[in-house]
Amino acid sequence: MTSRSCLSIVLAAGLGTRMKSNLPKVMHEIGGLPLVGHVVKALKQAGSDRISVVTGPDMPELEKLVQNLAPEAHCHVQHERLGTAHAALAARSALASPSDDVLILFGDTPLVTADTIGKVRRALSDGADLAVLGFETQQPFGYGRLLTDNGQLVAIREEKDASDEERRITFCNSGIMGFSGQHALSLLDAIGNANAKSEFYLTDAVEIANSRGLKVVAVSGSEVETQGINTRAQLAACEEDFQVRMRNFALENGCTLLAPHTVYFSHDTVLESDVVVEQNVVFATGVRVASGARIRAFSHLEGASVGRNSAVGPYARLRPGAILGADTRVGNFVEVKNTTFEDGAKANHLSYIGDASVGSKSNIGAGTITCNYDGYLKHRTEIGAGSFVGSNSTLVAPVSLGSGTFVAAGSVITDDVDQDSMAFGRARQIVKEGKAKQLRERLKAAKETKS
């Protein structure tokens, strides 16, 4: 099958009015990736070498998104919304160039997997001229039923047109279809609109193909994978199914999740084996965690990399560009952004480290802040290996601390510090004997006067 060429057409022109959003429906996200992005990702994994996305008019933001997701993809505009077959024919220019397989999918079915798409392609490679993906459900109401006879799919019967016996069928249409390339355009062109809505429906291709003596089959898929999204409630339900999938994947691949239902993943989260994730952790996009690391409770990670045997949290925040080496520690209420921690470096509590590099085995004391922004530009702080930054220190960037430096607690550092030097940047302490007693007496008298 991998040697067969494949054109995939993704129907994504729907406005999603029931979402009550100005955003095109397929641009809403599951696991940090737009719905259409999940479909495109699965198609690429399934070996589709050509991808066409059908958008609606005045959807430049969707076209830009598609180009970012898959630069090789092409967008086609459906200027009038006259049904699913009409939408597929918006990609006529792509259909005119032959491919062995032609797949038609919907941009609002984000959980379909490459394996399931592969089943449809295998049916085509085994000789089917048209393959329809179906699913079994205990609640078939509202779905088109797949009617088969001796292995041949003879019709898709919509709920309103089905007989009582046909309504008892639980094998339903997902909407995903595969066509042999030599028949795809001809079958789509033959679909008419002689129906109550005067629209062109993809499902009619089944009976047209049968009338031509072509081989039409149904392929079985998962109800979870083929669920479509039309409302916010369905979006939320699909998100939960996606999270279940990601949690199970992590567990099956050697990770420990202490409370799986409280851990949230993005589509691209990578956890190596022997990672431990505690309760209420959120992995936003772009996170990779190496083997042996522990992500403690209530931490939030985005665009970050965590090295082997490192610990993050509890209550830590890793923002984009945070790169932690092996055996590092980022503790409670520490925020790290666009910063590299070399192996063995530590910031155990109550610090903000942004736009910086922290050398190996350095220790950042509680309350330390890198002042990286001057109101106009960001500046970097360089902390050399083996350095010690005392608690409640303020490092005003741009500034560099050489390796082995020692910054006294409470210091404000504005100038570079040489290797193995100690820096004090605070006022000298003054003690005035008896002054506290005098102050209390004065304040007490002032209060009594006012009362």
pLDDT in tens, 259-282: 999 999 999 999 999 999 999 999
Nearest CA-CA partner of 381 in 393, 391, 392, 183: 393
- Annotated ligand binding at 423? The verdict is no
- Annotated ligand binding at 315? The verdict is no
**Which tokens go with 376?**
């106009």
CA distance linking residue 365 with residue 386, whole number of Å = 13
* Residues noted as catalytic: 349
CATH superfamily of 6-221: Spore Coat Polysaccharide Biosynthesis Protein SpsA; Chain A (3.90.550.10)
- Annotated ligand binding at 305? The verdict is no
Q: Look at residue 98 in the predicted model and tell me its pLDDT.
A: 83
The answer to whether residues 304 and 323 touch, using CB atoms and an 8 Å cutoff, is yes
Q: Look at residue 68 in the predicted model and tell me its pLDDT.
A: 92
Looking from the CA of 45 toward its CB, the CA atoms found within 13 Å total 12
- Annotated ligand binding at 78? The verdict is yes
- Annotated ligand binding at 248? The verdict is no
Q: Domain locations in the chain?
A: 6-221, 232-423
Model pTM greater than 0.85? yes
CA distance linking residue 118 with residue 241, whole number of Å = 21
What are the CA-CA distances from residue 379 to residues 338, 341, 382 (Å)?
Answer: 11, 17, 10
Spatial neighbors of 435 by CB under 8 A, at least 6 apart, are: none
- Whether 232-423 and 6-221 are alike in CATH topology: the answer is no
Class of domain 232-423: mainly beta
- Annotated ligand binding at 426? The verdict is yes
- pLDDT tens, N- to C-terminus, the chain (451 residues): 458 999 999 999 988 889 999 899 999 999 999 999 999 999 999 999 999 999 999 899 999 999 999 999 999 999 999 999 999 999 999 999 889 999 999 999 999 999 999 999 999 999 999 999 999 999 999 899 999 999 999 999 988 888 899 999 999 999 999 999 999 999 999 999 988 888 999 999 999 999 999 999 999 999 999 999 999 999 999 999 999 999 999 999 999 999 999 999 999 999 999 999 999 999 999 999 999 999 999 999 999 999 999 999 999 999 999 999 999 999 999 999 999 999 999 999 999 999 999 999 999 999 999 999 999 999 999 999 999 999 999 999 999 999 999 999 999 999 999 999 999 998 888 999 999 999 999 999 999 888 7
Residues 159, 161, 163, 166, CA torsion sign: negative
- Annotated ligand binding at 11? The verdict is yes
Residue 365, Ramachandran bin (φ over 0: left; ψ between -120 and 50: alpha; else beta): beta
Which neighbouring-strand residues pair with 317?
A: 300, 335
E-strand stretches of 342-398: 346-358, 363-364, 369-371, 381-383, 388-389, 394-396
- Annotated ligand binding at 230? The verdict is yes
